[in-house]
Structure 1
Amino acid sequence: MSTSTIYRFTELTLVWGPLDLPDDAVSFADDWNWVIYTPEEIEAAILSVPCVKLIHDSRPDWRSWRAQWRSLDRTIDFDLIACDLDPEDGGRPGCSLYWGGSSFTTNCTLTDMLDVWTKIQMACPAVWLHDTVCRMYNPRSFVADLPGKIQEWSR
Protein backbone atom coordinates (compact mmCIF):
# COMPACT_ATOMS: atom_id res chain seq x y z
CA MET A 1 0.00 0.00 0.00
CA SER A 2 1.32 3.39 -0.94
CA THR A 3 1.83 5.78 1.94
CA SER A 4 0.67 8.67 -0.26
CA THR A 5 -2.69 7.16 -1.30
CA ILE A 6 -5.64 9.26 -0.14
CA TYR A 7 -8.47 7.23 1.38
CA ARG A 8 -11.96 8.74 1.41
CA PHE A 9 -13.82 6.60 3.93
CA THR A 10 -17.36 7.48 5.00
CA GLU A 11 -18.46 4.20 6.60
CA LEU A 12 -16.16 3.97 9.63
CA THR A 13 -16.79 5.05 13.21
CA LEU A 14 -14.77 5.16 16.39
CA VAL A 15 -16.35 3.09 19.16
CA TRP A 16 -15.58 1.88 22.67
CA GLY A 17 -14.76 -1.71 23.49
CA PRO A 18 -12.43 -3.83 25.61
CA LEU A 19 -8.90 -2.71 26.44
CA ASP A 20 -7.44 -5.54 24.35
CA LEU A 21 -9.28 -6.13 21.07
CA PRO A 22 -8.65 -9.41 19.21
CA ASP A 23 -8.06 -9.27 15.46
CA ASP A 24 -11.43 -10.87 14.60
CA ALA A 25 -13.69 -8.80 16.84
CA VAL A 26 -17.37 -7.93 16.36
CA SER A 27 -19.29 -5.30 18.29
CA PHE A 28 -22.08 -7.65 19.37
CA ALA A 29 -19.71 -9.91 21.35
CA ASP A 30 -20.79 -10.03 24.97
CA ASP A 31 -17.85 -11.79 26.56
CA TRP A 32 -15.60 -8.75 27.06
CA ASN A 33 -15.03 -6.28 29.84
CA TRP A 34 -16.07 -3.14 27.96
CA VAL A 35 -14.60 0.25 28.81
CA ILE A 36 -17.25 2.98 28.75
CA TYR A 37 -16.17 6.57 28.10
CA THR A 38 -18.08 9.79 28.69
CA PRO A 39 -18.57 12.31 25.88
CA GLU A 40 -16.26 14.71 27.73
CA GLU A 41 -13.46 12.13 27.88
CA ILE A 42 -13.67 11.45 24.15
CA GLU A 43 -13.96 15.14 23.33
CA ALA A 44 -10.75 15.78 25.29
CA ALA A 45 -8.99 12.84 23.62
CA ILE A 46 -9.93 13.96 20.10
CA LEU A 47 -9.11 17.61 20.74
CA SER A 48 -5.72 16.66 22.23
CA VAL A 49 -4.54 15.36 18.85
CA PRO A 50 -2.30 17.88 17.07
CA CYS A 51 -4.03 19.61 14.13
CA VAL A 52 -7.56 18.87 15.45
CA LYS A 53 -9.81 21.89 15.77
CA LEU A 54 -13.25 22.18 17.33
CA ILE A 55 -15.73 23.12 14.59
CA HIS A 56 -18.85 23.29 16.79
CA ASP A 57 -19.21 22.78 20.53
CA SER A 58 -21.80 20.62 22.28
CA ARG A 59 -24.42 23.36 22.59
CA PRO A 60 -27.33 22.87 22.60
CA ASP A 61 -26.41 19.16 22.91
CA TRP A 62 -23.77 16.64 21.82
CA ARG A 63 -25.44 16.09 18.42
CA SER A 64 -24.08 19.53 17.47
CA TRP A 65 -20.46 18.70 18.32
CA ARG A 66 -18.00 18.57 15.39
CA ALA A 67 -14.22 18.52 15.13
CA GLN A 68 -11.77 18.16 12.28
CA TRP A 69 -8.17 17.07 11.94
CA ARG A 70 -6.49 18.88 9.05
CA SER A 71 -3.03 18.77 7.54
CA LEU A 72 -2.70 20.70 4.30
CA ASP A 73 -5.59 19.34 2.18
CA ARG A 74 -5.99 16.08 4.13
CA THR A 75 -8.81 15.79 6.70
CA ILE A 76 -10.58 13.57 9.21
CA ASP A 77 -14.02 14.69 10.40
CA PHE A 78 -15.52 13.69 13.75
CA ASP A 79 -18.92 13.97 15.37
CA LEU A 80 -19.91 12.67 18.78
CA ILE A 81 -22.91 10.61 19.83
CA ALA A 82 -23.96 10.75 23.48
CA CYS A 83 -26.32 8.15 24.91
CA ASP A 84 -28.26 8.04 28.15
CA LEU A 85 -26.94 5.72 30.83
CA ASP A 86 -28.57 4.68 34.07
CA PRO A 87 -26.32 6.20 36.78
CA GLU A 88 -26.98 3.11 38.91
CA ASP A 89 -25.84 0.78 36.12
CA GLY A 90 -22.74 -1.24 36.86
CA GLY A 91 -21.11 -0.19 33.57
CA ARG A 92 -20.11 3.22 34.87
CA PRO A 93 -21.71 4.04 38.25
CA GLY A 94 -22.69 7.69 38.66
CA CYS A 95 -22.47 8.42 34.93
CA SER A 96 -25.67 9.55 33.19
CA LEU A 97 -24.26 9.87 29.64
CA TYR A 98 -21.84 7.69 27.76
CA TRP A 99 -20.08 8.07 24.43
CA GLY A 100 -21.91 6.07 21.78
CA GLY A 101 -19.36 6.54 18.98
CA SER A 102 -17.94 9.12 16.58
CA SER A 103 -17.79 9.32 12.82
CA PHE A 104 -14.31 8.88 11.37
CA THR A 105 -14.78 10.34 7.89
CA THR A 106 -11.45 10.47 6.12
CA ASN A 107 -9.79 12.23 3.24
CA CYS A 108 -6.22 11.38 4.15
CA THR A 109 -3.45 8.79 4.03
CA LEU A 110 -3.31 5.54 5.97
CA THR A 111 -0.43 6.99 7.99
CA ASP A 112 -2.61 9.99 8.90
CA MET A 113 -5.49 7.72 10.02
CA LEU A 114 -3.28 5.50 12.16
CA ASP A 115 -1.46 8.47 13.68
CA VAL A 116 -4.67 10.29 14.66
CA TRP A 117 -6.31 7.11 15.96
CA THR A 118 -3.32 6.05 18.07
CA LYS A 119 -3.10 9.54 19.57
CA ILE A 120 -6.77 9.27 20.60
CA GLN A 121 -5.96 5.87 22.10
CA MET A 122 -3.25 7.46 24.25
CA ALA A 123 -6.02 9.10 26.29
CA CYS A 124 -8.73 6.46 25.74
CA PRO A 125 -7.03 3.13 25.00
CA ALA A 126 -10.24 1.15 24.36
CA VAL A 127 -11.21 3.15 21.24
CA TRP A 128 -11.48 1.05 18.08
CA LEU A 129 -12.64 1.42 14.49
CA HIS A 130 -16.02 -0.10 13.57
CA ASP A 131 -17.54 -0.72 10.14
CA THR A 132 -21.10 -1.12 8.84
CA VAL A 133 -21.17 -4.90 9.39
CA CYS A 134 -20.22 -4.56 13.08
CA ARG A 135 -16.61 -5.60 12.58
CA MET A 136 -14.24 -3.89 15.03
CA TYR A 137 -10.61 -3.20 14.22
CA ASN A 138 -7.42 -2.70 16.13
CA PRO A 139 -4.66 -0.98 14.13
CA ARG A 140 -3.10 -4.31 13.04
CA SER A 141 -6.37 -5.86 11.81
CA PHE A 142 -7.39 -2.58 10.12
CA VAL A 143 -4.19 -2.49 8.05
CA ALA A 144 -4.53 -6.20 7.22
CA ASP A 145 -8.15 -5.87 6.01
CA LEU A 146 -7.79 -2.51 4.24
CA PRO A 147 -7.08 -3.79 0.69
CA GLY A 148 -10.31 -5.82 0.56
CA LYS A 149 -12.53 -3.21 2.21
CA ILE A 150 -11.77 0.03 0.35
CA GLN A 151 -15.00 0.05 -1.72
CA GLU A 152 -17.20 -1.01 1.22
CA TRP A 153 -15.85 1.74 3.47
CA SER A 154 -16.05 4.43 0.75
CA ARG A 155 -19.77 4.28 -0.10
Structure 2
Amino acid sequence: MREGCKDHSEPIREWARSRQLGAFPRRDMADVRVDQLLVRLGHPEVYVHQGNCEHLFTFSDVRLLNPTDPLRLSVYPFHTAISQNQTIYCTTCAEFGAKWIVTGCSRVPFDPAFFCETCFKLYLYKDGKKICDFKAYCYRGNEINLLKPNS
Protein backbone atom coordinates (compact mmCIF):
# COMPACT_ATOMS: atom_id res chain seq x y z
CA MET A 1 0.00 0.00 0.00
CA ARG A 2 1.28 3.46 -0.85
CA GLU A 3 2.44 5.69 1.96
CA GLY A 4 -0.36 7.82 3.38
CA CYS A 5 -3.12 5.57 2.03
CA LYS A 6 -5.77 4.00 4.24
CA ASP A 7 -6.71 0.31 4.20
CA HIS A 8 -10.46 0.57 3.53
CA SER A 9 -10.83 -3.21 3.55
CA GLU A 10 -9.91 -3.65 7.23
CA PRO A 11 -13.44 -3.09 8.66
CA ILE A 12 -14.86 -5.53 6.09
CA ARG A 13 -12.19 -8.14 6.81
CA GLU A 14 -12.75 -7.73 10.57
CA TRP A 15 -16.52 -8.13 10.08
CA ALA A 16 -15.93 -11.35 8.07
CA ARG A 17 -13.50 -12.67 10.72
CA SER A 18 -16.00 -12.02 13.53
CA ARG A 19 -18.61 -14.06 11.65
CA GLN A 20 -16.14 -16.82 10.77
CA LEU A 21 -16.65 -16.29 7.03
CA GLY A 22 -13.05 -17.17 6.27
CA ALA A 23 -9.90 -15.28 5.46
CA PHE A 24 -9.98 -12.31 3.10
CA PRO A 25 -6.31 -11.56 2.49
CA ARG A 26 -5.23 -8.09 1.38
CA ARG A 27 -2.38 -7.74 -1.07
CA ASP A 28 -0.85 -4.81 -2.89
CA MET A 29 -2.27 -4.83 -6.42
CA ALA A 30 1.13 -3.81 -7.82
CA ASP A 31 2.50 -7.17 -6.69
CA VAL A 32 -0.33 -9.44 -7.89
CA ARG A 33 -1.01 -10.87 -11.35
CA VAL A 34 -4.44 -12.07 -12.52
CA ASP A 35 -3.19 -15.67 -12.65
CA GLN A 36 -2.46 -15.46 -8.90
CA LEU A 37 -6.06 -14.59 -7.97
CA LEU A 38 -8.54 -17.08 -6.61
CA VAL A 39 -11.33 -16.69 -9.16
CA ARG A 40 -15.00 -17.48 -8.51
CA LEU A 41 -16.81 -17.63 -11.84
CA GLY A 42 -20.00 -15.59 -12.06
CA HIS A 43 -19.45 -14.04 -8.63
CA PRO A 44 -19.38 -10.23 -8.57
CA GLU A 45 -16.11 -8.81 -7.26
CA VAL A 46 -15.33 -5.24 -6.29
CA TYR A 47 -12.18 -3.17 -6.56
CA VAL A 48 -12.28 -0.16 -4.22
CA HIS A 49 -9.85 2.73 -4.29
CA GLN A 50 -9.76 6.29 -2.98
CA GLY A 51 -12.23 5.28 -0.31
CA ASN A 52 -15.44 5.58 -2.31
CA CYS A 53 -14.71 4.65 -5.93
CA GLU A 54 -15.97 1.14 -6.61
CA HIS A 55 -15.45 -0.92 -9.76
CA LEU A 56 -17.60 -4.04 -10.09
CA PHE A 57 -16.40 -6.88 -12.28
CA THR A 58 -17.17 -10.55 -12.85
CA PHE A 59 -15.07 -13.37 -14.22
CA SER A 60 -17.45 -15.18 -16.55
CA ASP A 61 -15.15 -17.59 -18.37
CA VAL A 62 -11.89 -19.41 -17.80
CA ARG A 63 -10.61 -21.75 -20.48
CA LEU A 64 -7.56 -23.09 -22.21
CA LEU A 65 -6.20 -21.32 -25.27
CA ASN A 66 -7.57 -22.32 -28.63
CA PRO A 67 -5.88 -21.81 -32.04
CA THR A 68 -7.60 -18.46 -32.70
CA ASP A 69 -6.58 -16.86 -29.38
CA PRO A 70 -3.75 -14.31 -29.38
CA LEU A 71 -0.49 -15.58 -27.90
CA ARG A 72 0.81 -12.26 -26.52
CA LEU A 73 0.38 -12.03 -22.74
CA SER A 74 -0.03 -8.27 -23.01
CA VAL A 75 -3.58 -8.65 -24.42
CA TYR A 76 -4.83 -10.59 -21.38
CA PRO A 77 -7.16 -10.40 -19.58
CA PHE A 78 -9.48 -9.10 -22.27
CA HIS A 79 -13.07 -7.95 -21.95
CA THR A 80 -15.86 -9.96 -23.44
CA ALA A 81 -18.49 -7.45 -22.34
CA ILE A 82 -18.56 -4.12 -20.58
CA SER A 83 -21.62 -3.17 -18.57
CA GLN A 84 -23.59 -0.20 -19.81
CA ASN A 85 -24.59 0.66 -16.24
CA GLN A 86 -22.92 3.89 -15.27
CA THR A 87 -22.99 5.64 -11.95
CA ILE A 88 -25.40 8.55 -11.77
CA TYR A 89 -23.89 11.23 -9.59
CA CYS A 90 -25.59 13.64 -7.23
CA THR A 91 -26.84 16.70 -9.16
CA THR A 92 -25.91 18.93 -6.22
CA CYS A 93 -22.31 17.99 -5.38
CA ALA A 94 -21.47 15.79 -8.43
CA GLU A 95 -19.06 13.91 -6.15
CA PHE A 96 -21.01 10.93 -4.83
CA GLY A 97 -23.35 8.41 -6.42
CA ALA A 98 -27.07 9.14 -6.25
CA LYS A 99 -29.10 7.46 -3.50
CA TRP A 100 -32.35 9.40 -3.99
CA ILE A 101 -34.52 10.57 -6.90
CA VAL A 102 -36.50 13.72 -6.06
CA THR A 103 -39.49 14.98 -8.05
CA GLY A 104 -41.77 17.99 -7.69
CA CYS A 105 -39.31 20.05 -5.66
CA SER A 106 -39.37 23.84 -6.05
CA ARG A 107 -35.81 24.17 -4.69
CA VAL A 108 -34.26 22.13 -7.51
CA PRO A 109 -34.01 23.24 -11.16
CA PHE A 110 -34.18 19.64 -12.42
CA ASP A 111 -37.09 17.22 -12.34
CA PRO A 112 -36.23 14.54 -11.54
CA ALA A 113 -33.11 15.38 -9.53
CA PHE A 114 -30.61 12.88 -8.15
CA PHE A 115 -29.17 13.29 -4.64
CA CYS A 116 -26.49 11.57 -2.60
CA GLU A 117 -27.44 10.82 1.01
CA THR A 118 -25.59 13.84 2.42
CA CYS A 119 -26.97 16.46 0.00
CA PHE A 120 -30.47 14.99 0.30
CA LYS A 121 -30.49 15.53 4.07
CA LEU A 122 -28.65 18.87 4.11
CA TYR A 123 -30.50 20.56 1.24
CA LEU A 124 -34.06 19.27 1.68
CA TYR A 125 -34.39 18.78 5.44
CA LYS A 126 -33.90 20.92 8.55
CA ASP A 127 -33.91 19.31 11.98
CA GLY A 128 -35.20 16.10 10.37
CA LYS A 129 -38.24 17.77 8.76
CA LYS A 130 -38.85 18.49 5.07
CA ILE A 131 -38.44 22.16 4.22
CA CYS A 132 -40.54 22.03 1.04
CA ASP A 133 -42.94 19.76 -0.80
CA PHE A 134 -41.40 16.95 -2.90
CA LYS A 135 -41.49 13.21 -3.44
CA ALA A 136 -38.34 11.15 -2.91
CA TYR A 137 -37.62 7.64 -4.14
CA CYS A 138 -34.79 5.42 -2.99
CA TYR A 139 -32.44 4.97 -5.96
CA ARG A 140 -30.42 1.77 -6.39
CA GLY A 141 -28.92 2.02 -9.85
CA ASN A 142 -31.16 0.41 -12.44
CA GLU A 143 -33.45 -0.92 -9.71
CA ILE A 144 -35.84 1.80 -8.55
CA ASN A 145 -38.47 1.40 -5.84
CA LEU A 146 -41.40 3.36 -7.29
CA LEU A 147 -44.00 1.85 -4.99
CA LYS A 148 -42.92 3.49 -1.74
CA PRO A 149 -42.24 7.21 -2.00
CA ASN A 150 -40.60 8.85 1.00
CA SER A 151 -43.11 11.68 1.41
How does the TM-score come out when normalised to structure 1? 0.24
* Larger RCO, structure (CA 8 Å, separation 6 or more): 1
* Larger strand percent: 1
* Larger helix percent: 1
Tell me which structure has the larger Cα radius of gyration. Answer: 2
How does the TM-score come out when normalised to structure 2? 0.24
